[in-house]
Amino acid sequence: MPNPSLLILPGDGIGPEVMTEVRKVIDWFGANKNVTFDVAEDLVGGAAYDEHGVPLHDDTMAMAQKVDAVLLGAVGGPKYDDLDFSVKPERGLLRLRKEMDLFANLRPAQCFDALADFSSLKKDVVSGLDIMIVRELTSGIYFGEPRGIQDDNEGGRVGVNTQRYTTEEIRRVARAAFELARKRGNRVCSMEKANVMESGILWREEVQWVHDHEYQDVELSHMYADAGAMQLVRWPKQFDVIVTDNLFGDLLSDAAAMLTGSLGMLPSASLGKPMENGRPKALYEPVHGSAPDIAGTGKANPIACILSFAMALRYSFDMQDHADLVEGAVEAVLAQGIRTADLLGEDGKSPVSTSEMGDAIIAAMGGS
């Protein structure tokens, strides 16, 4: 079997810095676990625009389609604010998502015990929290037609967007959620507004269909999305995997991320259909942005990007033990009180640099 292949796109702002630390982790696996990745690196976002005049070169796009997984740092920055919409840095990321057809956005909300104090929620409500929100990412109201703003006949205007889901769009993201649940707590909660939206009724029925025909071993429940928002705030640990549409997932995954109190720590994955080798099309990236204000200062926290690589180990390469090893090392380092600047409160401790954090995680992984 060929080596697993990775395309690394560091992007803009702190992207290259945090990706340098990921490279250390990748190299560690080569040196210690005999797991060698074929790694290619290329440009995305503003960095690609500076070089090619577009935020994603066609060659990069073609490479992304060929590799087993893409790992992206972050895109964007004030330098590119005035660019035309069509070549803004974010368009590079959107092109990747669209052409790779990454329909399942995995957003874990995990709270490390050592950081539970950062949450606005009580410690017992969030410590040990480990839930996964699966958001449909390529359809729904952000994409549906007709859409637009038109003049009415009375001097006013009308704004229209269309929520539209097909059987197959719902079933495929439901399958992604059930597959995930089997590797976790074996429970899926599906959220919609079937009480007031027909697209929600279809969502509920199709998720139930997939369950009844293909995943009867997984526990499935349904919840209205507004009740879901409430329950996420009240007692988030009741959930294992949540599957929901693009719009509800947008709000609920961000609310869930904020429950953990340390947004800068969270990874994400976007998965598509299985390729010929059985691995899904996959893009991994931290939830945080490019943080241009601290780029180049050594203040960036590389943990979210390192955890994104751990997700790649888990979901693209089926290397559960290796993923556990990386995540365990992050947890151990945090438990030791090692902190980048973003994780320090008022207590006067001095922060470690981006690179020192990477080294500490490598050290916690053991080996040479």
Q: Any idea which residues carry the catalytic annotation?
A: 142, 193, 226, 250, 254
The closest residue (CB) to Mg ion is 226
Based on its alpha-carbon atoms, the radius of gyration of the chain, rounded to whole angstroms, reads: 21
Residue of 212, 226, 293, 324 interacting with Mg ion (CB under 5 A):
226
Size of the site for its own copies (CB under 8 A): 56
Do residues 313 and 267 make contact, with C-beta atoms less than 8 angstroms apart?
Answer: no
Nearest approach, Cβ of residue 99 and its own copies (Å) = 18
Q: Is 83 in the site for its own copies (CB under 8 A)?
A: no
Q: How would you classify the pairing of strands 267-274 and 280-286?
A: antiparallel
Q: Is 141 in the site for its own copies (CB under 8 A)?
A: yes
Q: And the tokens for 7? A: 């395309």
Residue of 43, 176, 181, 225 interacting with its own copies (CB under 8 A):
225
Do residues 37 and 6 make contact, with C-beta atoms less than 8 angstroms apart?
Answer: yes
Q: 């080798």: which residue's tokens?
A: 277
CB closer to Mg ion, 87 vs 223? 223
Q: Is 147 in the site for its own copies (CB under 8 A)?
A: yes
User: Could you tell me which stretch among 34-42, 137-145, 182-190, 317-325 binds its own copies (CB under 8 A)?
Assistant: 137-145
Q: And the tokens for 240? A: 């294992």
Cα 184 to Cα 311: distance, rounded to the nearest angstrom = 13
Q: Is 68 annotated as a binding residue?
A: no
Do residues 253 and 266 make contact, with C-beta atoms less than 8 angstroms apart?
Answer: no
Q: Which of residues 300-319 bind Mg ion (CB under 5 A)?
A: none
CB closer to its own copies, 252 vs 300? 252
Q: 């859409």: which residue's tokens?
A: 147
Binding partner at 122 among its own copies, Mg ion, none, C-beta below 5 to 8 Å by kind: its own copies
Cα 56 to Cα 69: distance, rounded to the nearest angstrom = 17
User: Could you tell me which stretch among 109-117, 222-230, 274-282, 359-367 binds Mg ion (CB under 5 A)?
Assistant: 222-230
For the beta carbon of residue 81, count every other beta carbon within 10 angstroms: 9
Instruction: For residue 362, give the H/E element and its range.
Output: helix 354-365
Nearest approach, Cβ of residue 16 and its own copies (Å) = 26
Which residues lie closer than 8 Å to 156 by C-beta, 6 or more apart?
none
CB closer to its own copies, 126 vs 300? 126
| Per-residue binding letters, 148-177, with its own copies (x by CB under 8 A) | xx--x---xxxxxxxxxxxxx---------
Q: Is 184 exposed, middle or buried (0-12, 13-18, 19+ CB in 10 A)?
A: middle
CB closer to Mg ion, 133 vs 180? 133
User: Could you tell me which stretch among 76-84, 115-123, 293-301, 332-340 binds its own copies (CB under 8 A)?
Assistant: 115-123
Nearest approach, Cβ of residue 291 and Mg ion (Å) = 17
Q: How would you classify the pairing of strands 241-244 and 144-151?
A: unpaired
Cα 356 to Cα 347: distance, rounded to the nearest angstrom = 20
Binding partner at 162 among its own copies, Mg ion, none, C-beta below 5 to 8 Å by kind: its own copies
User: Could you tell me which stretch among 95-103, 186-194, 226-234, 315-323 binds Mg ion (CB under 5 A)?
Assistant: 226-234
Q: Is 254 in the site for Mg ion (CB under 5 A)?
A: yes
Nearest to 212 by CA among 176, 169, 167, 178: 178
Q: Is 59 exposed, middle or buried (0-12, 13-18, 19+ CB in 10 A)?
A: exposed
* Annotated binding-site positions for NAD(+): 77-90, 289-301
* Annotated binding-site positions: 77-90, 97, 107, 135, 226, 250, 254, 289-301
Where along the sequence are the contacts to its own copies (CB under 8 A)? 119-122, 125, 141-142, 144, 147-149, 152, 156-168, 193, 196-203, 206, 225-227, 229-235, 247-248, 250-252, 254-255, 257-259, 263
